Structures are given as C-alpha cells and as structure tokens.
Amino acid sequence: MQFTFLGALVAGFAATLVMSVMMKMAGRAGMTYMPPMELVTGSMLTGEPDKAKQYGLVLHWLMMGTVVFGVGYAVVFNVLDSAGWLTGVAVGAVHGLVLGAVFMPMMPAMHPRMSSERFLEGPVRTGGGTVTLAAPGLFGARWGGMTPVGLVMGHVVYGLVAALVYQRFL
C-alpha cells in the first residue's frame, strides 16, 4: 500500500465532518452535555468564549481532525496494509478507548481553563467574560451518562469514514 498525503487529509476532513455532526446531534438529543470540541480546544488558548470557538474551529477541524488524525490514521492503515472498513472500525475503537481511559481524565492537568469541580449548571461556565470547563472524568462520564458510549462510537465512526475515504485514494 502506498501512502498518500492528499488521501489522508481528505479522509481526515471527511471523518471529522461526520463525527462532528454526530456529536452535535447527540448533544441536541440530550444524550450528552459535552461542550463543543471547538470550545474545548480553543479555550486552551484563550478564555474569551467567542475567540475560543474561532480558534477551536481551526484547531479541531484543520489541525487535529484533518492533519494530525487524518495523517495518523493513514499511517496506521499503511503499516497494517489495510484501509478496509473493519480496520477503520478497529483503529477508531482503540483510539476512543485510549482517549477515554487515559486522556480524558488527564485533561484538567493540561487544560488551563478546566476545573475539577462539578458545575451544577452544566459543563461550561462563562462568567466574567471567560470560559471555564468542568473536567470530563473517565470516558467523559461527567459530561453526561451517554458520553462514554458516544465518545467510543464517535471514534469508531471516525475510523470507519477515514478508512472508506482513504481507500479511494489508493
């Protein structure tokens, strides 16, 4: 299998699009109270909510979803010599499990605007013109009971879409 950078970027963008739509739908359906990823990532750079969302759009969509994970998944597909749907599902599942079990609990230590306290009003506080996020906990469980399932399933879908799109470039 030959690595293709353009295929990796297109696959990453398409997978980010599908996963982001799923996340938005889950939030609107009341299945999760997870803050928008744009706010979570952008608020690492600024506490101003509007600017955080703008920065987060670039960070989440272009840098992380398209470049970092699009290229990362493509590299894994090439190492495994498979970009089939099952490989995409498996890689996405591993990604979601590692993210939920390792990185979500570590977020308060890395994120300058994340508090380990529980907020009664939801996971986002915007008092005084600055944003503060409640820590997600293991698998994001503190952001709603269905968040752990959605977290893993979202990454499974990301992997599936990334594989299906990437294989079109091979």
Q: Where does residue 121 rank: exposed (0-12), middle (13-18), buried (19+ CB within 10 A)?
A: exposed
- Average pLDDT value for the chain: 95
Q: How far from the centroid of its chain's Cα atoms is residue 108's Cα?
A: 16
The domain limits of the chain are: 5-169
Q: Over the stretch 92-113, which tens digit does the pLDDT of each residue have?
A: 999 999 999 999 999 999 999 9
The pLDDT, as a whole number, for residue 129 is: 85
What does the alpha-carbon distance between residue 54 and residue 38 come to, in Å, rounded to a whole number?
7
> For residues 88 and 167, is the Cβ–Cβ distance under 8 A?
no
The arithmetic mean of pLDDT across residues 85-95, rounded, is: 98
Say whether pLDDT at 7 is over 80: yes
- Give the chain's count of helices (H) and strands (E): 7, 3
The arithmetic mean of pLDDT across residues 46-57, rounded, is: 94
